Amino acid sequence: MNFKFTIAVLFIFASASNVMGQTTGSQKFTVNVPTAISITAPTNTVITHDESENDQPFPAQPWVVRGNSLAGVNVTLSTTQAFTHLTDATSKRNAQLGLSVKSSEGAANWTVTKATDATDYASNDGVATVTASSNGFGRATLDVAVSFITDGFGTFAAGDYETTVTGTVSTN
């Protein structure tokens, strides 16, 4: 009886030494990056007319556009109205917009698709629009040039004139 027990113990030890576990393993790590687009306007700006016959340009304003869509984005910047006197809404002057790409980062190529436009308040056209687009993901700083069209200094009321530029961005 003692002999049978020894063989059983030997068999258990022999079987246990031949057991093999898994020798390799792998695990995937995935990051889901959601589509994100944005446009950031600079702060409000004020200039004083130099009392000349010259149009009055504001310093170029840097608008930052971000879009991580593989197809790229479209950007539209538009005035809401011609320059309009803050206390006498019948006193107006035209606004001119200009657009250029100041800088960009990422894989996208940025193209200005409409570089300049102006309002024509005499024809009830208060909207000037400039546009740009990208063909991929990236970030750009777009310089927006705004000018107050003088058109005869002394032929319009003194005071503050204002227009607002609104920027929108959408995926292609």
Q: What is the pLDDT of residues 41-89, one digit of tens each?
A: 999 999 999 999 999 999 999 999 999 999 999 999 999 999 999 999 9
How many domains does the structure of the chain reveal? 1
* Burial class (CB within 10 angstroms; exposed 0-12, middle 13-18, buried 19+) of 161: buried
Phi–psi pair at 54, nearest 5 degrees: -75, 150
Residues 72 and 139: beta-carbon distance below 8 Å? no
Residue 2 lies in a domain: no
Residue given tokens 């803050």 in the structure block: 86
Please check whether residue 48 lies inside any domain of the structure.
no
> What's the pLDDT score for residue 21?
82
Residue 170 inside a domain? The answer is yes
Residue 45 in any domain: the answer is no
The predicted pLDDT at position 4 comes to 55
- Domain membership of residue 135 (yes or no) is yes
Residue 134: give its domain's CATH number: 2.60.40
Would you say residue 67 lies in a domain?
Answer: yes
Instruction: Return d(Cα 74, Cα 70) in angstroms, integer.
Output: 13
In a domain, 38, yes or no: no
Q: What does pTM read for this prediction?
A: 0.84
Rounded Cα–Cα distance for residues 164 and 155 (Å) = 23
Residue 35, pLDDT score:
94
Range of the domain at 99: 55-172
The predicted pLDDT at position 41 comes to 98
108: in domain: yes
Tokens of 77: 């910047």
Q: What is the CA radius of gyration of the chain?
A: 33
Reduced to 3 states (helix: H, G, I; strand: E, B; else coil), residue 2 is: helix
Position 17 scores a pLDDT of 57
CA distances from 169 to 22, 29, 139, 164, 166 (A): 52, 32, 12, 17, 10
Rounded average pLDDT per 10-residue block, the chain, 172 residues: 51 56 92 96 98 98 97 98 98 98 97 98 97 98 98 95 98 94
